[in-house]
């Protein structure tokens, strides 16, 4: 596996090699975590976010797809919410890490068997049409190549059942985040909703601040526009717009 110097190689990679370049890069990033994170539970902050995603998704579903599962913490948390939870990641090393961590959770063998892990790109989903009730991605879409965002959205919509929902969480491109290597597609609420609309999604919802209840996501567009014009940095987190959380319906 070739050593990558930076995300510039991914950003500049042609479409024909982008999948392989991304897989190699993220294998390198997850490699050191195999031993370090295999036996460590997620932080309290991460557990709090997972609980929010669980509350939004609810129970009683047939199938859920998690894109960019990383160490698998959200995947295992969702096993009681559906008959099957499929988790994918571009990195084979991340998939190995996720499988290793199943013993951290107080799950029965039947519950563990509900979780299925596969190496796969977020841009080319190898599933049939209308296969899932929910698709979830957290801290994923901002890592996509700008040219792949629309393809990702279209693929998510394709694998959702009619009326199915896509929950995505990512940093807000207007939210005063420090530049991070690997954040190739940072956008605002308004920009993400435009991308989702172009892909055929509708019915956009978000949390009122960073917690329930759910409200019309257009409120977040108004808030981020207002805060940006007034240059009020302090209120971005308090009003729940420093990061983007959108639930879109097919």
Tens-digit pLDDT profile for residues 7-20: 889 999 999 999 99
Q: Return the CATH superfamily for domain 8-249.
A: Vaccinia Virus protein VP39 (3.40.50.150)
pLDDT at residue 92 above 70?
Answer: yes
- Segment 198-214 mean pLDDT: 96
Residue 3 is predicted with a pLDDT of 43
Closest to 207 (Cα-Cα) out of 46, 49, 59: 49
Q: Work out the mean pLDDT of the chain and round it to a whole number.
A: 94
Q: How does residue 1 score in pLDDT terms, banded at 50, 70 and 90? A: very low
pLDDT at residue 115 above 70?
Answer: yes
- Segment 114-135 mean pLDDT: 98
Percent of the chain with pLDDT over 70: 98
* pTM of the model as a whole: 0.95
pLDDT at residue 111 above 70?
Answer: yes
- Segment 178-197 mean pLDDT: 93
Q: Using CA atoms, how far apart are residues 167 and 74, in angstroms rounded to an integer?
A: 13
Q: How does residue 101 score in pLDDT terms, banded at 50, 70 and 90? A: very high
pLDDT tens digit string along 126-154?
999 999 999 999 999 999 999 999 999 99
Residue 5 is predicted with a pLDDT of 54
Contacts 24+ apart (CB under 8 A), 101-109: 101/37, 101/38, 101/39, 101/71, 101/72, 101/73, 101/76, 102/72, 102/76, 104/39, 104/40, 104/41, 104/76, 105/76, 105/77, 107/76, 107/79
pLDDT at residue 184 above 50?
Answer: yes
Cβ neighbours for 10, distance < 8 A, ≥ 6 positions apart: 4, 18, 21, 22, 25, 145, 184
- Segment 40-56 mean pLDDT: 95
**Better-scored residue on pLDDT, 203 or 36:** 203
- Segment 163-178 mean pLDDT: 96
pLDDT tens digit string along 222-248?
999 999 999 999 999 999 999 999 999
Q: Can you name the residues that pair with 167 across neighbouring β-strands?
A: 136, 247
Residue 2 is predicted with a pLDDT of 39
CA distances (Å), 71 to each of 30, 139, 153, 182, 189, in order?
9, 13, 23, 18, 27
Question: 3-state DSSP helix/strand/coil percent for the chain, to nearest 5?
Answer: 45, 25, 35
**Better-scored residue on pLDDT, 56 or 32:** 56
Q: How does residue 118 score in pLDDT terms, banded at 50, 70 and 90? A: very high
């Amino acid at each position: 596996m070739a050593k990558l110097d930076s995300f510039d190689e991914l950003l500049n990679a042609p479409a024909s090699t982008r999948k392989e370049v991304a897989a190699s890069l993220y294998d390198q990033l997850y490699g050191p975590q195999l031993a370090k994170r295999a036996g460590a539970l997620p932080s309290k902050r991460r557990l709090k976010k997972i609980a929010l995603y669980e509350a939004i998704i609810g129970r009683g579903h047939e199938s859920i797809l998690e894109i960019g599962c990383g160490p698998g913490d959200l995947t295992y948390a969702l096993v009681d919410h559906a008959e099957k939870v499929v988790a994918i990641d571009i990195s084979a090393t991340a998939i190995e890490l996720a499988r290793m961590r199943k013993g951290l959770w107080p799950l029965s063998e039947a519950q563990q068997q509900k979780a299925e892990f596969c190496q796969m790109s977020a841009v080319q989903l190898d599933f049939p049409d209308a296969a899932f009730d929910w698709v979830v991605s957290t801290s994923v879409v901002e890592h996509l190549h700008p040219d792949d965002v629309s393809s990702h959205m279209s693929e998510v919509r394709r694998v959702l059942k009619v009326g199915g929902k896509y929950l995505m969480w990512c940093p807000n491109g207007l939210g005063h985040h420090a530049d991070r290597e690997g954040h190739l597609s940072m956008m605002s609420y308004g920009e993400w909703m435009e991308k989702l609309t172009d892909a055929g999604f509708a019915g956009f919802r978000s949390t009122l601040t960073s917690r329930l209840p759910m409200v019309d996501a257009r409120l977040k567009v108004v808030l981020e526009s207002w805060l940006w014009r007034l240059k009020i940095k302090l209120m971005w987190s308090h009003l729940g717009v420093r990061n983007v959380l959108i639930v879109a319906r097919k």
